[in-house]
Structures are given as C-alpha cells and as structure tokens.
Amino acid sequence: MNLCALSSSLVAGVLLCSVSSGAVMSWNTVDHFEASIDYGELEKNQEAYHYAMAAIGDDGQIGFVDTVDLYDVDSDSRMLVKRFDSDGNIGGTVLYEETQAWLHTKLQWMNGNLYFGSKSGSLAEDRANLYYEWNDGGVSEIYRNEPGASDAVDKGVTGIYQMGMGTVRQVGAHQGYDDAFVYRSAETGEDRVIASTSTTSSEDRLGLQVMLRPNPEGMTEIYKPSADGGLVMGLRTDEGSKIVKFNGEGFETLVTGEDVVNAVDGSVSASMDGYALPYPLATNSRGDLAFIAMSSVSDTDYMACIDLLVKRDGELVHAGRLLSYKDSWANKEGLSEFRFQDEMVISENGRVGLIGYVPDSWPSRDFELIVWEGDELIVAADADETYVGTNGREFVYHGSRYENHMPQYEEGIELFTDAVGNMVFNSSVEADGGVGHGVLLYDTEGVLSLLVKEGDLFDVGGGDMREIKTIDEHSFWLNSDGMLAIGLVFMDHSSGVFTMQIPEPSGLMLLGVGGVLGLMRRRVG
C-alpha cells in the first residue's frame, strides 16, 4: 500500500487517504527495482531522459517500459519491458541494449497482446523504428523502418495505429504512393495501401485531398480503434471531409460534412479532419462517437466556428460551441482551440472529455479539461485556478507543461476515462510549495483531485520512501474498470509500476478532515 494511512505515507507532512465502501483508495506496488545503469552520469554529461511507461488492459494485465532516451550516444541506451498478469505476477521480462523506447508509439494492450515501439541504432537521425507484439508465445517484431536505407519500404513514417485486425501506418510514401495509409493484416502480415493523395476513391482505397500529420513529438492516437476491431479516422477525402471506419476490408462512412450541416444551426459547410493538424475524436465500445468540426456559417459576422458533436445510438447531437472566429482568424471568441492537442474521450455512458488550449495563452500554452454530460459544456480544469480534491490536497492547476510556447512539444497531455466517466489526465500543477507534473482525477461528481506529482515522497513498499522525479504523458493508463496504472522514475534513478483503483466517488471520504471541498467549475457560454 502507498500514500495511505496503513503505510504512513506523507505528502508535505499531511496524511492523505480516500475511502470507498470501507476500502482505502491507495497506491499498490506492482514492481520496483533499483537502477542498473548510472543514469545520473548519463544525464549530467549529455542530453538524456529517463522514462517509465505503464499501460493496463481491460483484463487487468499490465505492461511496463523503463527506458533512457539518449541522443548521439552509441552505447548505454537501454529499454526494459515487463508484463504482469491481472494479479500482479510477473509474466516476462525483455531487455533491449542500445535501444530506447519509440515514444511516438503507444504502449498499449489489444486483444490480450502488448504492443510497443523502439528506436535502435547509433545516432538519433539514423535509428531504425521498430514495433513489437508480445503475445502468449513471446515477443515478435512486426514492423521495422530504417529511415536512412535506400530500400526502405516506407518513407517518413509518422504514425502507427493499432487496431484489432492489424495496424495502419501513416507514411510520406509507400511503393509509389505519396502521403499514404498502409494497412498490415495481423493474419497475413501483408501490406495494402488503403488511402493516399496519389489516387482517387474506389472500392479498394480512398483518395485524399491532403494528409494531416500528427505532431511529430507526441504519441500517435489521433485515430481510434473501434470495438469491432476497426479504426475510426477523420479524413479529407476527394469526396469531402468524412469520419470513416476502416474494417480491414474497406471503409464505412460514419459522418459526412452534410450530416454536420444538418446538426449545427447556421452551418453551411463543415470539415471534421482538421486544419493545421488533425482534430480529435473519441469512440467507446458501444460505437458512440465524439468529434470536433469546423463550420462555415451563414452569419456574415463570423468566418467560422468550432463545435463539439456527439453521435450516440445513431443520433448526431450538436453538444456545444467551443470557438468562433469573428471578422478574422485572429479575432477569437470562446473557449478552446485544437491546433496542437488531440486528446478526447467518451465513456460508456456518454460523458465526453476533451483537452484544448486557451486561445492566445502566451507565452505558455494553457490547457483546460472540458467536459460534456449531455446538457452543457463545463470547464472542469481551469488554468491557474486553485482546487481542493476529495483527498483534501490543495493545488493550483497550471494547465501548461512548459513555461514558454514550444509547438514541437505541444502534445504533452494524455486523457483517459473509465466506463462510468471518471477521467484521469496529466498536467503541470503547484502543490505543497513546489511545481511539477502530476496526474489528476476528475470524477463523476465533478471534483478535480491531484493524485500524485513530481516531488512527492512515495512509498514504494514497506515504508521505503522515494522522491518522484518524472511523470509525463507516457507514464500512466486508466482502464474501463477504473484501475489506474502508473510508471514512476525516482530521484535515485530507481523506477517502478504502481496501481490504484478509482472508486465510486459517492463512497469517498477524507480521513482527518471535517469535510470534502468540491472544485470550482466554469460553465461554457
């Protein structure tokens, strides 16, 4: 047990606990191990970053990666991968030397298999990008791309999207096709171009007007897997902007621009794919869909509007307006932009959460969590506001990761939801006299809580307290049952993976404090 009364863990001298139905909401240690490499010397002498990544499947299996990200170094790179069963028992360990995690791919579970990527080779610009599947039979390499090779099958790979039937790669070129999506079947291992700017739409593939690429520094997940094994994508095709589902054979159209025009009053045309970068979208196992659309409107005072739409049980609903461009692209009215952020989720009961940034928030980029529950849009995490969570911990939500605006690092926030709509995400926060990156919970009762942050003392087991050094968007995962897994790096360069069960909020209580304080919420509009 960690950060709970049973282990006497302290955060800035304050004992914090939450209780649900008689059980303590606390961190449980799955694995903790000491550093096998002197990371401190590496970080001191060259540009190096130590990451710990965790992912938990809906069946409770856990994947963990410990890696050092080195630049222009021929040795000492290392990537350690572990998997654990639903009871926390070790299921296997794989160590890759002179290799680091490919942070552009997502450590994730799909159909009981663990998927992860790596970079292997000497120099950063020449390193091969590899992608692996770890199933019951062991680890296998299912994709390799060497950027510098003259015979490379793909040129300029910018994303790999895992789906139940296989993978879809987003590449600059593939065997004569420019700006292409390439499907590789899990059953046959064969590649097939399914969309490209070099072709027109047919039964075999989609023609694209343009391909919008994800931010090169972020984890690639702008397209989402569907419950039936397909992949949901917002694309600008030669037949117009569409949201489609690729099912392994062809594409099914889910939403068209005409559908958005019919749902949004005053809209005369609409696109759902994005403009500078792709727009976010979200799916759930029921087949529901949430997405962002930009509309040209009949009101001549406005150039365009950005709206949230939700398709649930087959009905398309205009959930709310997020931003309007009045008179010019520089004259913005409203809440949020999405040019550099793609995080969006929809729970099984239809609660939608999305991360966008506050327009013209300079010099930093202020991100906010926006939630829709079927009637109105709520700003659930408002930049620079002070909150007190269900655990009694007071903190300031900074809503930005970096002090200065750096577009190449904008994709720095990850957002998850469980089936009932509890949402977990990361952000910069200030608490207990220190600023650091933390993991936050926005529960179904509308309370924002800080669960853990960089600089906290953390019980790794048996009262052994370690100071947390690193938490970021790669660190954690929340599954549909509300089980949160997190990978942490500590100041002594040890690392580990830990879990917490997110309880039903109605059962939460605060130990040693007279009451529970709710967060400040701001209604949109």
Query: 289 with 350, same domain?
Result: no
Q: Which residue has the tokens 């390499």?
A: 141
* Per-residue pLDDT in tens (0 to 9) along the chain, 525 residues: 344 433 333 333 333 333 333 334 689 999 998 876 665 565 555 556 788 999 999 999 999 999 877 655 555 678 899 999 999 999 999 988 778 888 778 899 999 999 999 888 655 456 788 899 999 999 999 998 887 676 678 888 888 999 999 999 999 999 899 999 999 999 999 999 999 999 999 888 999 999 887 765 555 678 999 989 999 999 999 999 999 999 999 999 999 999 999 999 989 999 998 877 788 899 999 999 999 999 998 877 788 899 999 999 999 999 999 988 888 778 888 877 766 566 899 999 999 999 988 777 666 678 899 999 988 899 999 988 999 999 999 999 988 755 544 444 445 788 999 999 999 999 989 999 999 899 999 999 999 999 999 999 999 999 999 999 989 888 999 999 999 999 999 998 899 999 999 975 444 433 322 223 333 334 444
pLDDT tens for each residue of 202-220: 888 999 999 887 765 555 6
Mark whether 185 and 318 lie in a shared domain.
Answer: no
In a domain, 88, yes or no: yes
Our count of domains for the chain comes to 4
Phi, psi dihedrals of residue 409, rounded to the nearest 5°: -115, 20
How much of the chain, in percent, has pLDDT values that exceed 90? 55
Same domain, 350 and 489: yes
Contacts for 437 with CB less than 8 Å, ≥ 6 apart: 401, 426, 427, 428, 429, 453, 454, 470, 471, 472
Do 72 and 128 fall within a single domain? yes
Three-state DSSP class for 368? strand
Residue 468 lies in a domain: yes
Q: Are residues 218 and 323 in the same domain?
A: yes
Show the tokens assigned to 149: 């090779």
Residue 475 is part of which domain span? 336-518
CB atoms within 10 A of CB 45: 9
Helices (H) then strands (E): counts for the chain: 2, 44
Domain identity same for 494 and 507: yes
Q: What predicted TM-score, i.e. pTM, was given to this entire model?
A: 0.88
| Structural domain contains residue 26 | no
20: in domain: no
In a domain? residue 31? no
DSSP string, 457-483: EEE-STT-EEEEEE--TTSEEE-TTSE
Same domain, 194 and 223: no
Q: Are residues 490 and 405 in the same domain?
A: yes
- DSSP letter (8 states) at residue 212: P
**354 and 470 fall within a common domain:** yes
Q: Tell me how far apart the terminal alpha carbons of the chain are, to the nearest angstrom.
A: 43
pLDDT at 341: 65
pLDDT tens by residue, 65-117: 998 776 555 556 788 999 999 999 999 999 887 788 887 788 999 999 999 99
SS3 59: coil
Single residue among 334, 351, 374 that ends a domain in this structure: 334
Same-domain status, 464 and 399: yes
What single-letter DSSP state applies at residue 2?
A: B
Residue with tokens 């709206």: 307
DSSP codes of every residue in 75-93: S--EEEEEEE-TTS-EEEE
pLDDT of 153: 83
Together in a domain, 201 and 260: no
Looking at residue 506, what is its pLDDT? 44
Give the end of a domain, one of 305, 334, 363.
334
pLDDT for the residue numbered 25:
60
Q: Which of 54, 410, 427 is nearest to 217 (CA)?
A: 410
In a domain, 27, yes or no: no
Domain end (from 115, 131, 153): 153
Residue 452, CA distances (Å) to 52, 200, 299, 437, 498 in order:
15, 50, 46, 9, 12
- At 328 the pLDDT is 79
424 assigned to some structural domain = yes
Residue 8 covered by a domain: no
Q: Is 421 left (phi over 0), alpha (psi -120 to 50) or beta?
A: left
Q: What is the pLDDT of residues 267-309, one digit of tens each?
A: 999 999 887 778 889 999 999 999 999 999 887 778 889 999 9
Same domain, 134 and 189: no
